[in-house]
Amino acid sequence: MPRPFAWERSYPAGLDWGAPIATSTIPQILAEAAAAHGDAPAIEFRGREISFRELHGEALRFGAALLGAGLKPGDALALYLPNTPVHPIAFFGAAAAGLRSVHLSPLDAEAELVHKLADSGARTLVTTNVATLAERARTLLGAGHLDRVIVGQDELWGPSGTPPVAVPEGPGLITLRAFVAEASAPARWPEVRPSDIALLQYTGGTTGAPKGAILTHANLTAAVSMYETWFEAQPHDRTGRDSIICVLPLFHIYALTTILLRGLKRGAKLLLRMRFDVEATLRDIEIGRATHFPGVPTMWIALAAAPGIESRDFSSLVYAGSGGAPLPVEVAERFERLTGQRLIGGWGMTETSPAGTNRLGAGLRKPGTIGLPLPGVEMDVCALDDPARSLPPGRTGELRIRGPNVTQGYWNCPEETRAAFVDGWFLTGDIGHMDEDGFFFITDRKKDMIISGGFNVYPQMIEQAIYRHPAVEEVLVVGIPDPYRGEAAKAFCKLRAGHPPFTLEALQGFLQDALGRHEMPTALEIRPALPRTAIGKLSKVELRQEERDKAAQAGRGMTQRSM
């Protein structure tokens, strides 16, 4: 692609797409932060502050213990953790020892955990005695899927309101405190290079089995540098040390890069929280005077629906961002009307570490845009029937991306890796377009697209229209079998408190001026709650499976009746 790119014309003054993107290593990020910020607080968790120096020391002690226990550079370490200080200690410690971390989700089913452990080669796992995590880890140990389980003692960080689960030590199971008790620094730390693998971050596969995106130290630190370059040129009306609310799970790439790595690099204090709670988050903003809150759309939906939200004090916030999933335009507009806060944020993927695009914090507004590519990121739109063919502005196709932040491929998945790249471009699976000003827009996920009567129907566009209904708080749209059209749209809605349910016919009447006949939902289901992923994003996976099961059951019923 020849420069200048279209999006460079829309960059604010002082922002250079061609600015150098620095790459280094994960241990270097924490070592430099500890040297620069010393005894300043890096993390606040349950009222306890952990300094940069203390965090660095604990991470090195854990890394030394890993090496002392016989793990070698290049080995895998599984992290099965919620938001607790154990996560950064284990993540940075593993990186210092030259290990690659493997994130497991506390919401993973046992079969998923077994697959990720076997695929990654991780035989040692770090967890904590919160809820059922340690007990499930002990089950995996007993079944031979692990050699060692290291358990952080949650009670050491102060009362949580939930009693910790007692996990007796035994063969292969040891507390974190005991594991590091005799640790001593190695005579020489392993050499860690930017090209080394820092993380296997699992994401969904086309075959249904999760696949591990290979993220190097260079990938992750390049993403941090891209964000830093972008935000240094944005308006910033605050002096002093920033504090960032971290309710997004650190086992997800969004929080890992944009909060943990970037936050520590710039000397911010992380307000580490195990889960999202509306009132607790508002206390962190109003009383704790948090300056940054990165969230996902469901969090902003919940805040916008909170009684009296328009009278709450958001004046400390310099940045309110939404990522991880498309932000409905109506939600962003409603939140700004109620609070005066402009939600920004952008788009990225696990495979891009997750740097990709960002929306401007001031100036030109384009509703529905995912923003402009970050410095160092190249993006364009390719034809759906020929991913090697680039399309001009305004044409709809598949977004593709390249840059130093992009994965080299998937662990143990050569076929999926080959399918994901064309001529050095990573195919994102997102359908959308770029306008003449270089702003990108996503219509939908390629796999979510509905073919209705031969027409391409994009569920996200239908969702955006339904979100304008005054009774709708959340909505998901999936494709279902249709005897006439082949496929049709079905809407699943959660209503705002106090609003009565409505019929499909009423919804169709509301949408008649917004959608074409081929886009109109032909089925509606109102539910008290919609399924979510581990980071709180609304999830269509379960709904699609339910509809497939219904269709299969109906097919079996027809077969039996015809016999």
Model pLDDT for residues 414-443, shown as the tens digit of each residue: 999 999 999 999 999 999 999 999 999 998
User: What is the CA angle 404-405-411, rounded to 5?
Assistant: 105
What's the pLDDT score for residue 218?
Answer: 98
Return d(Cα 27, Cα 43) in angstroms, integer: 17
What's the pLDDT score for residue 213?
Answer: 97
Please give the helix or strand (H or E) that residue 481 lies within, else none.
Answer: strand 472-482
Which residues of the chain does CATH 3.40.50.12780 include? 6-22+213-407+424-445
Residue 208 above 60 pLDDT? no
Q: Answer positive or negative: Cα dihedral of 201, 203, 205, 208.
A: positive
Strand 48-51 to 357-358 pairing = unpaired
Residue 205 above 70 pLDDT? no
Confidence of residue 563 (pLDDT cuts 50, 70, 90): very low
Instruction: Tell the residue number behind the tokens 């292969």, with chain if given.
Output: 172
Taking residues 162-181, what's their average pLDDT? 89
Rounded to an integer, what is the distance from CA 331 to the centroid of its chain? 19
Task: Summarize pLDDT for 321-344 with one digit per residue, the tens.
Answer: 998 877 888 888 989 998 988 998
Residue 554 above 90 pLDDT? no
Side chain identity at residue 469, one-letter code = H
Q: Of 337, 343, 245, give the one whose Cα is nearest residue 286.
A: 245
- Give rounded-to-5 percent helix, strand, coil for the chain: 35, 25, 40
Return d(Cα 455, Cα 311) in angstroms, integer: 46
Taking residues 528-538, what's their average pLDDT? 87
Return d(Cα 477, Cα 146) in angstroms, integer: 40
Which CATH number fits the domain 6-22+213-407+424-445, given the four candidates 1.10.540.10, 3.90.550.10, 1.10.1130.10, 3.40.50.12780? Answer: 3.40.50.12780
Residue 202 above 50 pLDDT? yes
Alpha helix (H) residue ranges in 243-324: 253-255, 262-265, 278-286, 297-304
Residue 556 above 80 pLDDT? no
Q: Of 33, 59, 16, give the one whose Cα is nearest residue 230.
A: 16
Comparing 387 with 557, the larger pLDDT belongs to 387
Alpha helix (H) residue ranges in 358-447: 414-420
Comparing 204 with 377, the larger pLDDT belongs to 377
Which residues of the chain does CATH 3.40.50.980 include? 52-192
Taking residues 73-95, what's their average pLDDT? 98
Q: Of 309, 343, 302, 308, give the one whose Cα is nearest residue 326.
A: 343
Strand 76-80 to 48-51 pairing = unpaired
Task: Summarize pLDDT for 246-257 with one digit per residue, the tens.
Answer: 999 999 999 999
> What spatial distance separates the first Cα and last Cα of the chain, rounded to whole Å?
62
Taking residues 95-118, what's their average pLDDT? 94
Please give the helix or strand (H or E) that residue 489 lies within, else none.
Answer: strand 486-495
Residue 111 above 50 pLDDT? yes
Instruction: Tell the residue number behind the tokens 């300094």, with chain if given.
Output: 51
- Here the tokens at position 448 are 């979510």
What's the pLDDT score for residue 522?
Answer: 96
Contacts of 146 (CB under 8 A, 6+ apart): 78, 117, 122, 123, 124, 125, 137, 140, 172
Which residues of the chain does CATH 3.30.300.30 include? 455-562
What's the pLDDT score for residue 562?
Answer: 45
Comparing 518 with 474, the larger pLDDT belongs to 474
Hey, what CATH topology would domain 455-562 get? GMP Synthetase; Chain A, domain 3 (3.30.300)
Q: What is the dihedral of CA 53, 101, 128, 181, to 10 degrees?
A: -50
Side chain identity at residue 552, one-letter code = A
- Here the tokens at position 303 are 């805040």
Taking residues 141-153, what's their average pLDDT? 97
Confidence of residue 166 (pLDDT cuts 50, 70, 90): confident
Taking residues 526-546, what's their average pLDDT? 89
Measured in degrees and rounded to the nearest 5, phi and psi for residue 367 equal -55, 135
Residue pair 186/194 in contact (Cβ under 8 Å)? The answer is: no
What is the number of other CB atoms lying within 10 angstroms of the CB of residue 542?
Answer: 14
Measure Cα distances from 520 to 465, 479, 510, 523 in Å.
10, 11, 11, 9
Comparing 44 with 326, the larger pLDDT belongs to 44
Compute the chain's Rg from CA coordinates. 24
Q: Answer positive or negative: Cα dihedral of 254, 257, 260, 262.
A: negative
Measured in degrees and rounded to the nearest 5, phi and psi for residue 152 equal -75, 140
Q: What percent of the chain has a predicted confidence (pLDDT) above 90?
A: 75
Helix axes 26-37, 217-232, angle to 10 degrees: 50
Residue pair 254/535 in contact (Cβ under 8 Å)? The answer is: yes
What's the pLDDT score for residue 172?
Answer: 96
Q: What percent of the chain has a predicted confidence (pLDDT) above 70?
A: 96
Comparing 300 with 236, the larger pLDDT belongs to 300
Comparing 486 with 23, the larger pLDDT belongs to 23
Lowest mean pLDDT among 37-46, 77-86, 393-402, 543-552: 543-552
Confidence of residue 548 (pLDDT cuts 50, 70, 90): confident
* CA atoms within 13 A of residue 270's CA, in its CB half-sphere: 33
What is the number of other CB atoms lying within 10 angstroms of the CB of residue 562?
Answer: 6
Helix (H, G, I), strand (E, B) or coil at 511: helix
Comparing 537 with 171, the larger pLDDT belongs to 171
Q: Of 91, 125, 95, give the one whose Cα is nearest residue 108.
A: 125
Confidence of residue 486 (pLDDT cuts 50, 70, 90): confident
Contacts of 540 (CB under 8 A, 6+ apart): 448, 459, 476, 478, 531
Measured in degrees and rounded to the nearest 5, phi and psi for residue 93 equal -65, -40
CATH of domain 52-192: 3.40.50.980
Lowest mean pLDDT among 62-71, 464-473, 479-488: 479-488
Residue pair 25/221 in contact (Cβ under 8 Å)? The answer is: yes
Confidence of residue 242 (pLDDT cuts 50, 70, 90): very high
* Burial of residue 28 (number of CB atoms within 10 Å: 0-12, 13-18, 19+): middle
Return d(Cα 440, Cα 421) in angstroms, integer: 20
Taking residues 490-516, what's their average pLDDT? 94
Comparing 58 with 345, the larger pLDDT belongs to 58
39-42: long-range contacts (C-beta < 8 A, 24 or more apart)? 40/241, 40/267, 40/269, 41/269, 42/264, 42/269, 42/270
Residue 396 above 80 pLDDT? yes
Residue pair 157/45 in contact (Cβ under 8 Å)? The answer is: yes
What's the pLDDT score for residue 3?
Answer: 82
Return d(Cα 274, Cα 84) in angstroms, integer: 7
Q: What is the pTM of this model?
A: 0.85
Contacts of 302 (CB under 8 A, 6+ apart): 276, 278
Average pLDDT, the chain: 92
Q: What size, in residues, is the chain?
A: 563
